[in-house]
A and B are shown apart, each in its own frame.
Chain A
Amino acid sequence: MNKISLNSKVSLLEIIFSVIIFAAAGIIMLNCFGIARFTQIRANDKAAAGAIIQSDIEIIKSLKNPTEMHEFLDDSYDDKSSDNPITYTKYFDEKWVQGRGKDYTVTISVEEENINFGVLVSISISAKKTKPYPFIKKGGQDVYLVESKKFFPLTGGAYE
């Protein structure tokens, strides 16, 4: 009866190489999984932040004067800095629920300029993640940014 003979030194060397190759491939795969997961989380964040930012801009665009705008921002944002431009900040948790955590911040800066027949307000609104995304180096902590302007006329200005 034939018996299996095993050259232990060669086999052990082979298995050590196999383990090293497997470990290297495993680390690369886990890194790819991590990148894929956090890229998806970033895409989700862009969708959520986009809706919040667009809504705020749309509401501001529908208001009649800068006073109404500041009232809306005072009510809907958590913090305010009185510097020029005036900056308002609101905080969201990881599920984009306002007031439950500080995983994400949405900051709006408004700068008013008195020009002929009205006030021109420059608006910059951005969403940021408080901590950087793991595995992803590109893009930093920025999630979304919109810059816009709104003119509040002193008289008239509506169009049908």
Chain B
Amino acid sequence: MEKQNQFPFILIMLLYLIIVILSVLIIFLGKNIYDNINEERNTNYNLRVSLSYIANKLRQSDKSGSVEIKQVNGENALVLNEEYDDEQYQTWIYFYEGGIYEMFTDSENTFDLSDGMKLVDADVFNIEKVRDDLYRFYAASNEKSSELYLSIYSKVVTP
């Protein structure tokens, strides 16, 4: 009787073992997929938020003479000039130590780059003036990159 039961018992244990191994594999597969999704979501967030935020800022300040590019720490920075209560203010958007920063300040004031507010993480962030009415923004994060061209309507030149 014991001999008869020996084969099914081994078979059952083997099947259980296969189920356990497959369960572990599915858990690891799920974990890897979740990690990938999370990493790509973060990268997408960094790239999209940085470029969308700048696009919105630029649209807000799309007035004659309010948008310019200045050099900060050897890199181009976007400077948006604004006027409140007859006072001149500036919003600086620039790349500094692995992030895109924003600094709102009095136009007369000087400031330290670390004083700005960090918007998002980025490995690279470039601003380039293609033409008077066209700017190119390039951001890279986690080996992924994205670029966005933005036209300034206030600088549209007559034909």
Q: Chain A residues in contact with chain B, CB under 8 A?
A: 3, 5-6, 8, 11-12, 15, 18-19, 22, 26, 29-30, 33, 36-37, 40, 43-44, 47-48, 50-51, 54-56, 58-59, 61-62, 64-65, 152-160
Contact = CB atoms under 8 A, between A and B. Distances in A.
A51 B22 contact: no
Given A15-B16, A22-B19, A59-B134, A159 B153 contact: yes
Contacts of A30: 26, 29
Contact of B146 (A19, A29, A48): A48
Contacts of A11: 8-9, 12
B151 A36 contact: no
B134 A62 contact: yes
Interface in B136-159: 146-154, 156-159
Main secondary structure of the interface of B (DSSP, over half): helix
Interface of B: 2, 4-5, 8-9, 11-12, 15-16, 19, 22-23, 26, 29-30, 33-34, 36-37, 40-41, 44, 47-48, 51, 55, 64, 131, 133-134, 146-154, 156-159
Contact of A51 (B2, B148, B152): B148
A15 to B, nearest CB: 5
Given A11-B12, A29-B26, A153 B148 contact: no
Given A19-B15, A62-B134, A159 B22 contact: no
Nearest to A16: B15
A29 B64 contact: no
B149 A59 contact: yes
20 contacts: A8-B8, A11-B12, A12-B8, A15-B12, A22-B23, A29-B30, A30-B29, A33-B29, A36-B33, A47-B47, A47-B48, A47-B146, A51-B148, A54-B55, A58-B148, A58-B149, A62-B156, A153-B158, A157-B159, A159-B156
